[in-house]
Amino acid sequence: MGLYLNPNADAFTQDINTRIYVDKSLVIDELNKLVCTKDDFVCISRPRRFGKSMAGNMISAYYSKGCNTRDVFSQMKLGQVSNYDRYLNKFNVIKLDLNGWYQNAKVENTVDTLIDEINKYLLKDFRKQFPKIDFADKSSIARCIKEVYMETGEKFVIIVDEYDILVRERVPQTLFDKYLSFLNGLFKDTTLRPAIALAYITGIIPVVRDKVRSKLNEFTEYTMIRPRQFAGMIGFTEEDVKELCEKYGMDYEECLRWYDGYKMSDTIRVCNPLSVVNSILDREFDSYWSITGSFEVLRDYILMDFEGIRQDVIKMISGGSVPVNVLKFQNTLDSVNSKDNVFTYLIHLGYLAYNRADKTCHIPNEEVRIEWVNSIEDSADYKKVMAVVNASKKLLDATIVGNEEAVAKALDAAHTEVTNPLTYNDEHCFQSAICLAYFYANTRYTLIKELPTGKGYADLVLIPYLPNIPAMVIELKHNKSADSALRQIKEKNYCQALNQYKGDILFVGVNYDEKTKMHQCKIERLVNE
């Protein structure tokens, strides 16, 4: 047993002994299907705070010869799978946390010799665990693996957490060149491939830079855009969150509103694990994104001067989705040179969610939406947008009390401040502008666009998740009248979607006149006794 070669299960034990732990051990069942096949090189990329490191600790504890974890895994979900123990504690495991190595090297001012340090410490572990093999001084990890395999026939599992840290941090070229050689020795040497039963690497973004890609082209990538069979394995599924909310007495729907929104497949959506856990421990829903990230990273990208990015940002902050071509991004920070590349990169970072069905992206949840607002709050480019956001509480209050004139004037101001007149006449742009004007409503309501109900689709329905405030059905018209919008709500029975709602319902008709550039509003209240 060593520190990096055949590590013990201490890190895994710490994880499962935390106050809130979700069993994700079935990821090992999926990996076992790949072990010793041509698909046994796996790269999983996820945002920070999604549980990548905990998964790495568990995978190490399962495969490592330095552990005896049968009792633990037999009691987990994996233990219910037939032949779950076929590779249990059967392989030599090399486990590296490159971010940890890099951060320590920065503190010690030894960044330039980082790869040499890794090789040096691994060589010590190899000599200790295989004393009968004569390893040459300064042998690389690749050479040590090869010699063990040739002498004993024993295979290895290689686990590298945060493999992309040396790319994202833009390290000195000398270190980067050594890193390329390190990757080349481990993963491109065809004579070494039989000695590796499984290579499992994780990062925030997929395989990056052309030079790195050439060293890692043996890997199958499982990303936020194409997670495949690992869709629900990293991160909390909605089922995981439901069980936690029931156990700890938290509001499940509200938890989803704050932390859900990452659609990984047609049937699987995942939530931010760290934020879910923190909200349960604190007994309140809040934004925990800043614990491990900074809105400055987001701001640097959305303030880039690419055509159309500002209008798309406004639309997404308003709750809308925008098209994105994720195929143009070359998985390198140097290629963030267009709006599509910016949005694709933000998908990998978790600031946006991707809908594969219609190839659009959107802000996934309330927690991340707060980060978007924080990122533009002090920007001159978004000053007018923030004026609308800051005025949205008064607009909501005016709507609830039925002040039609105040609502119309507020919508006039929102239109003038943030909307291109040429696009405002488009139905979806009109709808997004209204959603932005009602930004504050997200703190009290679930906003649903184009809700199927009655004899058609309601433009916007606001369902309260706080008591003692009315639900709303909002219908939008161009060059007609607010009265006609109200009639449509009634005639098409748009309030049918709220049949189970026991409180009052507001019918809100809004019309925009292109000639006068003004809004008209009519509000009626349906009182439920």
CB 454 within 8 Å of CB 488: no
Alpha-carbon gap, residue 440 to 490, rounded angstroms? 26
pLDDT at position 423 is 60
Question: Which tens digits make up the pLDDT trace of 374-402?
Answer: 888 888 888 888 888 889 999 999 999 99
| Better-scored residue on pLDDT, 447 or 422 | 447
CB atoms within 10 A of CB 27: 22
Alpha-carbon gap, residue 41 to 190, rounded angstroms? 13
Question: Which tens digits make up the pLDDT trace of 315-350?
Answer: 888 888 899 999 877 666 666 778 998 899 899 999
Q: Is the Cα dihedral 412, 418, 424, 427 positive or negative?
A: negative
Assign domain 10-230 one CATH number from 1.20.58, 3.30.1490, 3.30.70, 3.40.50: 3.40.50
pLDDT at position 332 is 66
> pLDDT at residue 437 above 80?
yes
Q: Which of 56, 160, 70 is nearest to 115 (CA)?
A: 160
CB 57 within 8 Å of CB 12: yes
Relative orientation angle of helices 114-129 and 141-152, to the nearest 10 degrees:
20
Helix (H, G, I), strand (E, B) or coil at 446: strand
CB 504 within 8 Å of CB 495: no
> pLDDT at residue 297 above 80?
no
Q: In the structure encoding, which two tokens stand for residue 132, read together?
A: 């009968």
Task: Return the amino acid letter for 332.
Answer: T
Q: Which of 196, 227, 208 is nearest to 168 (CA)?
A: 208
The model's pTM: 0.87
Alpha-carbon gap, residue 134 to 494, rounded angstroms? 79
Mean pLDDT of 408-437: 74
> pLDDT at residue 77 above 70?
yes
Mean pLDDT of 51-71: 96
Q: What is the mean pLDDT of the chain?
A: 89
pLDDT at position 422 is 46
> pLDDT at residue 420 above 70?
no
Alpha-carbon gap, residue 433 to 447, rounded angstroms? 13
Question: Which tens digits make up the pLDDT trace of 194-215?
Answer: 999 999 999 998 876 555 656 6
Q: Do domains 10-230 and 390-526 have the same CATH topology?
A: no
CB atoms within 10 A of CB 132: 6
> pLDDT at residue 421 above 60?
no
Pairing relation of β-strands 196-203 and 269-271? unpaired
Report whether CATH 3.40.1350 matches the domain 390-526. Answer: yes
Domain spans of the chain? Answer: 10-230, 237-286, 295-378, 390-526
Instruction: State the residue for tokens 């026991």.
Output: 502
Pairing relation of β-strands 156-161 and 236-237? unpaired
pLDDT at position 443 is 83
Q: In the structure encoding, which two tokens stand for residue 79, read together?
A: 């233990």
Alpha-carbon gap, residue 250 to 267, rounded angstroms? 23
Instruction: State the residue for tokens 């039989």.
Output: 194
